[in-house]
Structure 1
Amino acid sequence: MHRTAMLPRSWWDLRVEASVEDLAGQDVAALRAEIDQLRRALAGRPVIDQACGMVMVLAPCRREPARNLLVDMERQCNTGLPDVAAAVVAAWEGEPLPRMMQRTLRHALRRLYAEDRGCDSAPADEPSGRGRP
């Protein structure tokens, strides 16, 4: 990739060419970083889709609420979405789910059930967080 900069002759002729070279190098580095990030995202996609399907079966719901449930677990457990999804899939296959994820999943499912029933209140063992006693 080659870029040409049109600047008056009195402007730093040699330095302009060097900075253009640096910009091209920075663009290549940024593109490589983006490609790496996209590859990592695609690598985790199948396990996330599988975990979404499991949640959809566990709590009869559509894909969006199932994914939101996994994202909530991700935030509350302070871990990545592929890690949460892998733990859910492993639990489905018989491995114990880490305690923090068990509790988070239980609360998320209760919220999902309450929303599905149209309830406005939180489960009995969960604070409402809406300023109600």
Structure 2
Amino acid sequence: MPTGEQLLAETEQLKKALERRPIVDMARGVLMAAWSCTAEEGWQILVHVSQHSNTKVHEVAKALIATTQNEPLPAHIEEHLPAALARWRASRDE
């Protein structure tokens, strides 16, 4: 049985996830509009970039959304986005 402290920590994690979800959903929408991918494929692209750039998914999402306001992608994210898109394209061609 979880302790009170563990339950509080879990509650805090869930709150953060709920706060960040709209940002991630917007980034998926950006990918869907730009690359004609599905929401799930957009999620997989974000996850790939996150894992390979050692950046939290919501941080990748925020950076991607910022590009719609003519902000450049941070180098560590921009470095991994082409590989994620190439991987997605290859999986579509299978």
Count the aligned residue pairs: 94
Where in structure 2 are the equivalents of 1:1-133 lying within 5 Å? 27-118=3-94
Pair member with larger Rg: 1
8 Å CA contact 1:59–1:113 kept in 2: the answer is no
Higher helix share: 2
What 5-or-longer segments of structure 2 have no aligned partner? none
- Deviation of 1:106 (Å): 1.3
TM (norm. structure 1) is 0.65
CA distance in 2 between counterparts of 1:33 and 1:53 reads: 30
- Other structure's SS at 1:111 match: helix
Give identity over the alignment, percent. Answer: 34
Runs of at least 4 residues off by over 4 Å: none
RMSD of equivalent CA atoms:
1.5
Q: CA deviation at 1:103?
A: 2.1
Counterpart residue type for residue 48 of structure 1:
V
Larger RCO: 1 or 2 (CA < 8 Å, sep 6+): 2
CA-to-aligned-CA distance 1:45-68 (integer Å, 9 cap, x gap): 110000001111111111111100
List runs of 5+ in structure 1 lacking aligned partners.
Answer: 1-22, 119-133
